[in-house]
Every structure is written in C-alpha cells, then in structure tokens.
Copies of this chain bind each other. A is one copy, B any other.
Amino acid sequence: MNQSQTQVDSSPSQEIQFESDVTVSLVKSSASDADVIWAARVSTAGERSQESINQDAKAASGLINFLMRERHGTPFEHSVMTFYVKAPIFVWREHMRHRTASYNEESGRYRVLEPVFYVPAEDRKLVQVGKPGAYVFEAGTNEQYQIARKEYEEACTQSYHAYQRMLDAGIAREVARGVLPVTIYSSAYVTMNSRGLMNFLSLRLKSEGAKFPSYPQREIEMVAEKYESIFAELMPITYRSFVDNGRVSP
C-alpha cells in the first residue's frame, strides 16, 4: 500500500499547466490615508489626535507629503494589508527577503504540489546586455522565445513526472519535491503595512521617476505592479505622495 497517497489531502490535477502571470488579490485591509493623519498628529496633539480618527484625509495631503519628503516613516506603519499571492518559487525567494512582512505559504512537506508552472510570455525580455551592476534587458528573438518555451515545458514535465513516480513509490513528499523546478507556482498570504509595502515597491519596481534606480527581475515586478494598484486605491494620497517624492520609501 502506498502510505504517502493516503495522506494526500488534495490530489493534484494531472494535467501539467503553464501560465505566464502572477496572481495578487486583496484578502483584507485596515488601511487608509486617514490612518497616517492621527498617527502623525499624536506627536503634536497628543490625546486630541483622536479627533482625526474619523476625519477626511483629503485636507491633510500636505501633512502626508511632508512626512514622505522628510522621511518620517512610522506613521505609515498602522495601515495594514493582507494579500493572497500566487507566484513562482523564484519570486518567493526574493519576496521573503523582506523581513518586516508576515507570510504563510503552502508547503511541499504537507501537500502534493500541483503541476502549474510559470513560463515566460512572448513579451518577456529575454536578453540581458551590459556589465554587472548596469544591465539592460532586451527583447529576445522569436527563436529564443521558442527555445525558452520548449525547454521550460520539457524540463517541468520531466521533473513533475519524476516527482510523481517518487510519490507513487511511497517516498515522502518532502523528499520527492527536491526535483521540482523553481518556476513552479506556490501560494501564500502576505501581510504588510504601507511602510513595508513602499519599501517593497521602491526596490521591486523599476520607474523613470525613482530617485534611486532599481533593477528588479520582471516576475517580482509583476507582483509589485499588482500590489501598487491595490495600494493606490486604498491609500490614494499616500501613494501619490510616494510617487511625487521619487519613490523613496519613508
């Protein structure tokens, strides 16, 4: 009898899938521009800052801009967002270097991982030009794209079949998963406050207007872009001020 099989709590769909996007959705939030106001005002108004709690933040965009420009970061820590994110493991490897966030991720020890793999889309720039520290990415040829696509598909399929054969032989998930490639998708919940999120955006999103240039890998930038659009909606004044001040995390 196959011991491992009996413990599988979610049997993977057998069809191997390839996708070229990442998923980011907002699970919940307690985040608004108004939070920044009372958090900042307590320094000058003490107890009476509580009057700002249900106040309209619009009148206070000057204060938010001042905090951002002068890098008073702490008032941005009380606004908190939780995201569900599905991204390849090589993205998670970079993401989890951000230590002020909270994470819970699916586990290759506790479940059979599903055969869903990231593969670069046709418009993903494939060629790196330049010297260390000053790279530029350029579009690959169609031939290069076809090579990448083919190599990804073959390698992921072979690896996943090896994974399945080990599982079928009763080998533990945590051992069998060793052969799975870093392009396999994994799901996690990420909770960050808006200060941590702006730090993430400043490092993981390339922008002309940034005071300090960043060179993120495209795939984590795709996550950052989705974070950014949710953030812009939840905290429009803070976001605008972040952009206007050169995307320097306060």
Chain A interface (Cβ within 8 Å of chain B)? Answer: 3-4, 7, 9-10, 27-30, 35, 38-40, 42-50, 53, 66, 70-71, 74-75, 77-78, 80, 82, 84, 86, 88-90, 92-93, 96-97, 99-100, 102-111, 113-114, 118-120, 124-133, 137, 140, 143-144, 147-148, 151-152, 154-156, 158-159, 162-163, 165-166, 169-183, 186-189, 191, 193, 203, 212-213, 217
Query: Given A4-B128, A127-B172, A128-B7, is A177 in contact with B90 using a C-beta cutoff of 8 Å?
Result: yes
Other-chain residue from B103, B107, B147, B213 in contact with A44 (beta carbon distance below 8 A): B107
Query: Given A27-B53, A45-B106, is A191 in contact with B80 using a C-beta cutoff of 8 Å?
Result: yes
What residues of chain B lie closer than 8 Å to A48, measured between beta carbons?
A: 10
What residues of chain B lie closer than 8 Å to A133, measured between beta carbons?
A: 66, 70
Other-chain residue from B86, B143, B174, B212 in contact with A70 (beta carbon distance below 8 A): B212
In the bound complex, do residue A217 and residue B109 qualify as a contact, i.e. CB atoms below 8 Å apart?
yes
User: Within the assembled complex, what's the spacing in Å between the Cα atoms of A77 and B156?
Assistant: 34
User: Within the assembled complex, what's the spacing in Å between the Cα atoms of A234 and B134?
Assistant: 30
For this complex, 29 residue pairs linking A to B, each with C-beta atoms less than 8 Å apart, are A3-B127, A35-B82, A39-B104, A42-B105, A43-B105, A43-B107, A46-B106, A46-B111, A46-B186, A47-B187, A66-B133, A71-B203, A74-B104, A96-B97, A102-B193, A119-B178, A120-B175, A126-B170, A137-B172, A140-B170, A144-B169, A144-B170, A148-B176, A152-B178, A152-B179, A155-B158, A178-B183, A179-B183, A181-B181
- How far apart are A72's CB and chain B's nearest CB, in angstroms? 9
Name the residue on B nearest A195 (C-beta): B102
What residues of chain B lie closer than 8 Å to A171, measured between beta carbons?
A: 126-127, 140, 144, 147-148
Closest 7 CB pairs of A and B: A77-B102, A178-B183, A30-B30, A128-B172, A155-B179, A46-B106, A99-B99
Other-chain residue from B27, B39, B143, B154 in contact with A189 (beta carbon distance below 8 A): B39
What residues of chain B lie closer than 8 Å to A96, measured between beta carbons?
A: 93, 96-97
User: Within the assembled complex, what's the spacing in Å between the Cα atoms of A82 and B166?
Assistant: 37
User: Within the assembled complex, what's the spacing in Å between the Cα atoms of A80 and B97?
Assistant: 20
User: Within the assembled complex, what's the spacing in Å between the Cα atoms of A113 and B40?
Assistant: 16
